[in-house]
Structure 1
């Protein structure tokens, strides 16, 4: 769906609420809710990523938040 500097952002077709993305880098992954308590993306969980990689993943989602929200709604609206 979205690829930035080796980070791959995915929305899965048969996924569940809350709206979120999976960000994959090498053998690591984090799951980021698209809208957290303050309206910004919010980290839910991560595996095999360093703190700076998690921060970069969150920044990528933040920069593309509205596009990702729109894509989630399109995929899961039917």
Structure 2
């Protein structure tokens, strides 16, 4: 049996996600709450798998991990 794939206008998905997050009190304000997690959860509930390269939180985690590695390496060199 062949599976059918749904396609969505990306702006329609953005609109749905934005209104959903705003209803939860999450607003895109500089320095405010990060709506990334709830937005990804909503997309998954809609059957859409968010792309990791578009997730700011993934990028921040990578940067934090690299900083930890650099700190560990420089501490070893200084000892």
Q: Same fold (TM over 0.5)?
A: no
Q: Going by fraction, where is strand more abundant, 1 or 2?
A: 1
Larger radius of gyration: 2
Q: Which structure: greater helix fraction?
A: 2
* TM-score of the aligned structures, taking structure 2 as reference length: 0.22
**Highest relative contact order (Cα 8 Å, sep 6+), 1 or 2?**
1
